[in-house]
């Protein structure tokens, strides 16, 4: 047998051996992925220690976490036990999760902002400042991350915290959120404290194209909730299936956290 024929035979054998494995890997990467998402406004640690907050997060076993009111090295008079602490780094260390952080404003000698914890690696992260129209009180932002799942697929995960003053400000911020995400090629999760109830224009109209995947339970104030202002949204809606949702009753902040167990389908 000539060397050329031997070479071709070896190539054919390699195809026979490895094509089934490649097909199996391709099939696995297209299978639905289950994710547990947690969204929590921490009230800058005024009501609980970072150890308590981390223990709660660990108890929920989330895949990705969106956090609001996250301090880094501040010195607040009403949260003296947290002075000088780097919340996002310490929570990452205590939970064993990867971290991303966006400062929204300088405050009390440090930073005040939003953060993400994730079991999966970040391919990229970026801070996008939201509009600051007339009537706004504090600068707000989106923390947008591209997260690589274990199957090699990507999703965009966004954490935000909208202004708490007036609806018109939040409506402008929601418009900016939608504009930023409109050409995103990946499935998207947006989590945050929107400071707006479900019947507000910013939620009812501004987020109408998104699938709201949390339940209707009130989230503030934590001790006797009267309003829902914390949400998890997904896009496009037909790619996401809700397995379960919960609003855990924990006294670690002035907000209650919200969780959603989701199934993401890939085309």
pLDDT number for residue 30: 80
pLDDT tens column, 65-88? 999 999 999 999 998 989 999 999
pLDDT of residue 77: 92
pLDDT (tens digit per residue) in 162-209: 999 999 999 999 999 999 999 999 999 999 999 999 999 999 999 999
Task: Name the residue ranges covered by the structural domains of the chain.
Answer: 1-27, 31-264
Mention every residue, 6+ apart, whose C-beta is less than 8 A from residue 153.
29, 33, 266
pTM, entire model: 0.89
What does the alpha-carbon distance between residue 170 and residue 201 come to, in Å, rounded to a whole number? 9
Report, as ranges of residue numbers, the positions in the chain whose pLDDT lies below 50.
14-16, 18-27
Is-contact 223 189, C-beta < 8 A?
no
Task: Say what the pLDDT of residue 1 is.
Answer: 57
Strand boundaries in the chain, DSSP class E: 33-41, 64-72, 98-107, 110-118, 122-129, 141-148, 154-161, 188-193, 211-212, 230-235, 240-246, 258-264
What are the φ/ψ torsions at residue 59 (nearest 5 degrees)? -65, -25
pLDDT of residue 25: 45
- For 11-63, strand residue ranges (E) read 33-41
Backbone angles phi, psi at 62, to 5 degrees: -80, 155
Q: What is the pLDDT of residue 83?
A: 93
What's the token pair of residue 177?
Answer: 């959120």
What CATH number has the domain spanning 31-264?
A: 3.60.10.10
Cβ-contact 75, 110 below 8 angstroms: yes
What the block records as the tokens of 119 is 């079991």
Residue 267 pLDDT: 74
Would the CA dihedral through 33, 38, 39, 44 be positive or negative? negative
């Amino acid at each position: 047998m000539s060397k050329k024929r031997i070479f071709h035979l070896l190539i054919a054998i390699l195809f026979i051996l490895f094509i089934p494995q490649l097909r199996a890997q391709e099939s696995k990467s297209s299978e639905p992925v289950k994710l547990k998402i947690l969204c929590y406004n921490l009230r800058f640690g005024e009501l609980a220690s970072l150890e308590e907050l981390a223990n709660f997060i660990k108890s929920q076993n989330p895949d990705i976490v969106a956090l609001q009111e996250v301090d880094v090295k501040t010195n607040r008079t009403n949260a003296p036990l947290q002075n000088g602490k780097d919340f996002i780094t310490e929570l990452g260390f205590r939970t064993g999760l990867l971290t991303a952080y966006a400062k929204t404003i300088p405050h009390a000698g440090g930073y005040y902002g939003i953060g993400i914890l994730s079991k999966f690696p970040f391919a990229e992260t970026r801070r996008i400042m939201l509009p600051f129209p007339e009537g706004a009180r504090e600068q707000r932002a989106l923390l947008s991350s591209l997260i690589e799942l274990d199957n090699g697929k990507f999703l965009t995960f966004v954490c935000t915290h909208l202004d708490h003053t007036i609806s018109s400000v939040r409506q402008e911020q929601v418009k900016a959120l939608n504009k930023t995400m409109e050409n995103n090629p990946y499935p998207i999760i947006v989590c945050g404290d929107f400071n707006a109830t479900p019947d507000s224009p910013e939620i009812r109209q501004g987020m109408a194209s998104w699938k709201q995947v949390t339940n209707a339970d009130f989230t503030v104030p934590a001790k006797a909730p009267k309003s829902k202002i914390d949400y998890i949204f997904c896009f496009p809606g037909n790619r996401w299936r809700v397995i379960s949702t919960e609003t855990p009753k924990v006294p670690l902040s002035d907000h209650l956290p919200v969780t959603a167990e989701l199934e993401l389908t890939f085309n």
